[in-house]
A and B are shown apart, each in its own frame.
Chain A
Amino acid sequence: MADDKIRVSRRDILRGAGAAAILGTALPASAKEAAAKAPAGLTRHGPGAVPVSIGLNGKAAKVMVEPRVTLLDALRDRLDLTGAKRICDRGACGGCTVWVNGKTVNSCTMLAIDAAGADVRTVEGLAQNGKLHAVQAAFVEHDALQCGFCTSGMVMSCAALLKNNPKPTLDEIKAGIAGNLCRCGTYGHIFNAVQEASR
Chain B
Amino acid sequence: MSDLKLGFPGNEKNENFETPDNVAPPWDATTKFSVMGKPHPRLEAEDKVTGRAKYSYDIRFPDLIYAKMLRSPHASARVKSIDISKAKALPGVLYSEARQGLTVRYAGQGVAGIAAETEEILDDALALIEVEYEVLPCAVTVEDAMAPGAPQVLNGPNVGGRPGRGKERVDAVHKDADIVVEAEYRTQVQTHSCFETHGCVCKFDDDGSLTVWASTQSTFFTKTAIARAARVRPENVTVITEHMGGGFGSKFGADDWDRFCVLAARATKRPCRYLLDRRAEHLIAGNRPDSIQKCRFSANKNGTLMGAWVESWGTAGVGRGAGVQNPTIYRFRAAGSEQKDVRTHAGRGRAFRAPRHPQGVFALEGMIDEVAFALGMDPLALRQKNDAHPVRSAQWPVGQKAIGWRKTPRGNGAVKIGYGCAGSRWGHNARPGDAVRCRIGKDGSVLFANGSQDLGTGTRTLIAILGAEELGVPLSFVDVRLGHTTDPYGHASGGSVTAPSIAPVVKQAAWLAKRELLEHIAKKIGGDPKKMELTDGDVLGGKKKITFKQACALLPVDSIDVTGDSRNVFRVPRFSREVAGVQFARVAVDTETGLVKVQKIVSVQDCGQIVNELTVRSQMLGGVIQGLSYALFENRLLDRNTGDMVNADLLNYKIAGARDMPEIETIPFNVAQGGTTAGVSSLGEPATVPTAGAIANAVSHAIDARVRSLPITPDKVLAALGAL
**Which residues of A approach B to under 8 Å, CB–CB?**
1-6, 9, 11, 25-26, 66, 68-69, 73, 76-77, 80-85, 87-90, 92-93, 95, 122-124, 126-127, 132, 136, 139-143, 145-152, 155, 173-175, 177-178, 180-191
Contact = CB atoms under 8 A, between A and B. Distances in A.
B48 interface: yes
Contact of B119 (A77, A139, A191): A77
Nearest to A87: B195
B245 interface: yes
Contacts of B648: 6
Contacts of B73: 1, 6
B49 A139 contact: yes
7 contacts: A3-B71, A25-B124, A26-B120, A69-B120, A83-B50, A139-B45, A175-B658
A6 B279 contact: yes
A185 B71 contact: no
Nearest to A1: B73
A43 to B, nearest CB: 20
Interface of B: 39, 41-42, 44-46, 48-55, 57-58, 60, 68-73, 90, 118-121, 123-124, 126-127, 193-196, 243-246, 248, 276-280, 455-458, 614-615, 617-619, 621-626, 629, 644, 648-651, 655-659, 661, 664
A187 B625 contact: yes
A143 B42 contact: yes
A11 to B, nearest CB: 7
B659 A148 contact: no
A77 B58 CA distance: 9
With most chain B CB atoms within 10 A of its CB, the pick from A83, A122, A140, A149 is A149
The prevalent SS among residues of A at the interface is: loop
B667 to A, nearest CB: 14
Nearest to A143: B614
A183 B657 contact: no
Nearest to A145: B48
A136 B50 CA distance: 7
Contacts of B49: 123, 132, 136, 139-140, 145, 151, 155
Nearest to B196: A149
Contacts of A151: 48-49
A3 B46 contact: no
Given A73-B119, A88-B650, A174-B659, A146 B195 contact: no
A123 B624 contact: no
Given A84-B51, A186-B622, A92 B650 contact: yes
Contacts of B659: 174-175, 178
B650 A93 contact: yes
Given A140-B45, A178-B657, A188 B664 contact: yes
A68 B118 CA distance: 12
A20 B600 CA distance: 49
B51 A177 contact: no
With most chain A CB atoms within 10 A of its CB, the pick from B246, B615, B656 is B246
Contacts of A73: 119
Contact of B123 (A4, A95, A124, A178): A4
Contacts of A2: 68-71, 123, 126-127
Nearest to A183: B195
A198 B48 CA distance: 21
Contacts of A69: 120
Given A2-B123, A25-B120, A181-B655, A146 B277 contact: no
Contacts of A90: 278, 649-651
Contact of B621 (A25, A68, A183, A188): A188
A146 B456 contact: yes
Contacts of A127: 50
Contacts of A11: 123
Contact of A141 (B41, B50, B279, B649): B41
Nearest to B454: A147
A98 to B, nearest CB: 10
B246 A184 contact: yes
A68 B119 CA distance: 11
A3 B120 contact: no
Given A90-B278, A90-B651, A123 B50 contact: yes
Contact of A147 (B60, B246, B624, B658): B246
Nearest to A141: B41
A95 B197 CA distance: 13
B416 to A, nearest CB: 23
A186 B621 contact: yes
A110 B619 CA distance: 35
B278 A88 contact: yes
Contacts of B625: 185, 187-188
Given A174-B658, A183-B193, 13 more contacts: A3-B69, A3-B277, A3-B279, A83-B50, A136-B49, A145-B48, A147-B245, A148-B456, A174-B661, A178-B657, A183-B195, A187-B661, A190-B658
B119 A124 contact: no
B119 to A, nearest CB: 7
A105 to B, nearest CB: 16
B99 to A, nearest CB: 14
With most chain B CB atoms within 10 A of its CB, the pick from A143, A152, A187 is A143
Given A3-B71, A87-B195, A185 B621 contact: yes
B50 A185 contact: no
Nearest to B110: A3
Contacts of A126: 50
Nearest to A69: B120
A52 B244 CA distance: 32
A148 B280 contact: no
A101 to B, nearest CB: 20
Contact of B656 (A124, A141, A152, A185): A185
A174 B458 CA distance: 25
Contacts of A150: 195
Contacts of B195: 85, 87, 93, 95, 147, 149-150, 181-184
